[in-house]
Chains A and B, each alone.
Chain A
Amino acid sequence: MSDNLLRADLILLHGGEVFDPNGGEPMRADMVIRNGKIDQIGSVDPQSFNGKVYEISGCWITPGLFDMHVHLREPGREDEETIESGCSAAAAGGFTGIACMPNTSPPCDSQEVVRFIKKKAQDQPTEVYPIAALTKGRQGKEITEMADLVRAGAVAFSDDGSPVADTSVMRNAMDYAFMFDVPIIDHCEDPFLAQGGHMNEGLISTRLGLPGIPNAAEAVQIARDILLCRLTGAKVHIAHLSTQEGVELVRRAKEAGLPVTAEVTPHHLFFTDADLATFDTNLKMNPPLRTSEDVAALEQGLREGVIDAFASDHAPHSLEEKDVEFDAAPFGIIGLETMLGVVFKQIVGRGVLTAAQALQKMIISPRKILGLPIPKLSEGQPAELTIFHPTALWTFDKTLSRSRSRNTPYHGMEFPAKVWGIINKGMVWTA
């Protein structure tokens, strides 16, 4: 166990505020945890307490945060991230649970890989839920052995990063996945329209001379998925929504009562394509950073509940892969450690959502979408908790990141919502 990690045999969290985002305002209360379970919530005198006391005044105790879109890179690219380093970054970001995407090498398209990931993560304080590939080898041609994969522990299916171009394959995948009641998570991008693009298509791509990816590349595939959802009844989750057209399509699908959900990343809310003026490869992501009009539509989608969840799309890349000319750099940034801070600064701080609403999208919605149990703040329940100070300011220093990678545009920026630590699986992890 690392220095940050202790057993939660008998501990007292003293001086904090218990905050159930479904249950109103934060309430001043101490919490006793015994053998990994919530033993007592109320007023406890630390002087007469027999176990370890943690003074957490000003901090909120919430059910554990969940990030449903993470790339752990193991097996295959352990130089970029391992399951262990990814879990450390998750803990540092306040996450007690993450779901990891299948674009590893080999891809997560067999029960052996699902089991490997779960086994590697079993001693980590953050629980890891594998998302299995939708098609064999993520080739977009034949659907995977979904029954086997679900039995092994897969919680969803996705070819994330390699959008399924063949509509009939997608239809079959949805029909088949329907039997297991797990969602299909789609990276919606028409590969023909997006081909060769490095950033959002528009005035800025013209100014920079970089080939663009139009909003329509995302929207046409979302529209297709919604039509297939209507045809098959399968649960469809739209990954990292980035366009105003996409928000409108998801809004209409939800109004029609279809089982369509959507997520947004913090970086698509924090940056726009105008930030690319210096060709910084740490701002190269897929989908690309869009315009301020798109950001406004995403914010409106959050307010209305069209967008269900925040997800980091934590995508570690090695320094040498990103420290190159823009064309040659891969898409993606790390994001586990900055998500809470960016959401509190950009979304809660600017009044787009209340803290409770924002936390619902990081605690309850992602678990609901994946059909996972939601941790409860009541006596007798397993202690799966995130503890953070909502207003304490901290500065993100990429050199201190727990991730193996450093590809972030947030280095040196100041954020609120400082993570104190997490409690999960009978362990206490402190920052």
Chain B
Amino acid sequence: MGLSSRHLLGLEGVPAKDITLILDTAENLKSILDRPIPKVPTLRGITVVNLFFENSTRTRISFELAEKRLSADTINFSAAGSSVKKGETLKDTVRNIEAMKIDMIVVRHSAAGVPYFLTQCTDAVIINAGDGRHEHPTQALLDMMTLREKWGTLKGKKVAIIGDIRHSRVAGSNIRGLKTMGAEVMVCGPRTLIPPGIKEFGVEVTYRLDEAIEWADALNVLRIQLERQEKGLFPSIREYHNEYGITRERIARAKKELIIMHPGPINRGVELDADVADSEASIILDQVTNGVAVRMAVLVLLSGFDNSQESLR
């Protein structure tokens, strides 16, 4: 059994059975990370290019580790900004890389739709590592994996995503994935950071954090980009923290066991107080560990490797 699609461009339209297969495979692979020699030969002979046009530390390292744990050959390509500005088109860049005989491309780009565009320029398998404000599917998959570990299921569970929904690819993929898996989703943030038409994704919308906290079983708190204030989308960091910052007092008022998530890196004291980030309710570091496992699963499944084979273990 494999995935329905050759690529992972986003979670839009990805069926529940595919998501389940990725999460199950990731759970299997996770044990590899705890071995004395955390490496298997599964992707030996497969060459993966990590094509990062936008700054990223954790996603790039997470993918690179996943590739190395699976014995793939990896190449890293980093270039900030648009390739066009450098004089070479993205298409030419990718075709040149493909001509060096590669199998898979992990791509991060500031422009939405770039992973889709690349499927038309190359025969390599494309994995989206974040495109503009569109999707970041592996982040959503690792979020779902971490929640499923905690709850056993996602069905019927309530997840509130807090913060800058408008510019967030993490929210974009989480909403799609969680809805497909039967969870309920609420988004919460100032109205300037809530995108138009979001209700038609089948999510609840609130501008009041306390309402979201009362409703939710888990809070996925997004990083707030300080540049949004410069664009006038909220008046000050101080006011943002007052209205939407997750504090211990606010959570205590909920009188229930809430799970706290964050895709990182955290602005401590802005969207999330330090003591909440480091509290027992926080599963932030589990997310990071699971990120490697989920990315290993995606790489294995899209490489065409038959995951029922024993050699995986």
Q: Which residues of A contact B (CB under 8 A)?
A: 201-212, 214, 278-279, 320, 323-328
Chain B, 90-144, CB within 8 A of any chain A CB: 90-91, 109-114, 116-117, 131-135
- B12 CB-CB contact with A under 8 Å: yes
**Which of the candidate stretches B28-36, B42-50, B191-199, B285-293 sits at the interface with the other chain?**
B191-199
Would A209 and B196 count as touching, CB distance under 8 A?
A: no
Kindly list the 3 A-B residue pairs having the minimum CB-CB distance in the complex, ordered from nearest.
A209-B134, A203-B197, A279-B113
Across-interface contacts of A204 in B (CB, < 8 A): 197
Would B84 and A209 count as touching, CB distance under 8 A?
A: no
Would A278 and B116 count as touching, CB distance under 8 A?
A: yes
Chain B, 1-32, CB within 8 A of any chain A CB: 12
A325 CA to B107 CA, complexed, in Å = 13
Would A209 and B172 count as touching, CB distance under 8 A?
A: yes
Across-interface contacts of A326 in B (CB, < 8 A): 111-113, 117
- B71 CB-CB contact with A under 8 Å: no
Nearest-CB distance from B152 to chain A (Å)? 31
Partner of A325, one of B109, B169, B195, B196: B109
A263 CA to B198 CA, complexed, in Å = 32
Would B112 and A327 count as touching, CB distance under 8 A?
A: yes
- B82 CB-CB contact with A under 8 Å: yes
A214 CA to B135 CA, complexed, in Å = 22
Nearest-CB distance from A353 to chain B (Å)? 31
Across-interface contacts of B89 in A (CB, < 8 A): 320, 323-324
Across-interface contacts of B132 in A (CB, < 8 A): 209-210, 327
Interface string of B220-236 (1 = CB under 8 A from A): 00000000000000000
- B310 CB-CB contact with A under 8 Å: no
**Of listed B12, B84, B201, residue having the most chain A CB within 10 A:** B84
Q: A209-B134, A209-B135 are in contact. Are A279 and B82 (CB under 8 A)?
A: no
- B249 CB-CB contact with A under 8 Å: no
A202 CA to B199 CA, complexed, in Å = 11
Besides A208-B134, A326-B113, 4 more A-B contacts (Cβ < 8 Å) are A204-B197, A209-B132, A209-B135, A210-B133
Would A279 and B195 count as touching, CB distance under 8 A?
A: no
**Of listed B82, B109, B112, residue having the most chain A CB within 10 A:** B112
Would B91 and A323 count as touching, CB distance under 8 A?
A: yes
Would A324 and B198 count as touching, CB distance under 8 A?
A: no
Output the nearest chain A residue to B10 by Cβ-Cβ distance.
A209
Would A210 and B113 count as touching, CB distance under 8 A?
A: yes
A201 CA to B196 CA, complexed, in Å = 7
A320 CA to B91 CA, complexed, in Å = 10
Would B110 and A327 count as touching, CB distance under 8 A?
A: yes
8 contacts between A and B (CB under 8 A): A205-B196, A206-B196, A209-B112, A323-B91, A324-B89, A325-B109, A325-B114, A326-B111
Would B133 and A328 count as touching, CB distance under 8 A?
A: no
**Of listed A202, A206, A320, residue having the most chain B CB within 10 A:** A206
Would B134 and A203 count as touching, CB distance under 8 A?
A: no
Across-interface contacts of B116 in A (CB, < 8 A): 278-279
Would B196 and A279 count as touching, CB distance under 8 A?
A: no
Nearest-CB distance from A188 to chain B (Å)? 21
Output the nearest chain B residue to A320 by Cβ-Cβ distance.
B89
A364 CA to B113 CA, complexed, in Å = 42
**Of listed A205, A210, A212, A324, residue having the most chain B CB within 10 A:** A324
Would A325 and B197 count as touching, CB distance under 8 A?
A: no
Would A328 and B134 count as touching, CB distance under 8 A?
A: no
Interface string of B164-201 (1 = CB under 8 A from A): 00000100100000000000000000000001111011
A279 CA to B82 CA, complexed, in Å = 17
A211 CA to B12 CA, complexed, in Å = 18
Nearest-CB distance from A205 to chain B (Å)? 7
Nearest-CB distance from B77 to chain A (Å)? 16
Nearest-CB distance from A29 to chain B (Å)? 51
Output the nearest chain B residue to A200 by Cβ-Cβ distance.
B196
Across-interface contacts of A212 in B (CB, < 8 A): 196
Output the nearest chain A residue to B133 by Cβ-Cβ distance.
A209
Across-interface contacts of B135 in A (CB, < 8 A): 209
Across-interface contacts of A203 in B (CB, < 8 A): 196-197, 200
Across-interface contacts of B200 in A (CB, < 8 A): 203
A242 CA to B37 CA, complexed, in Å = 62
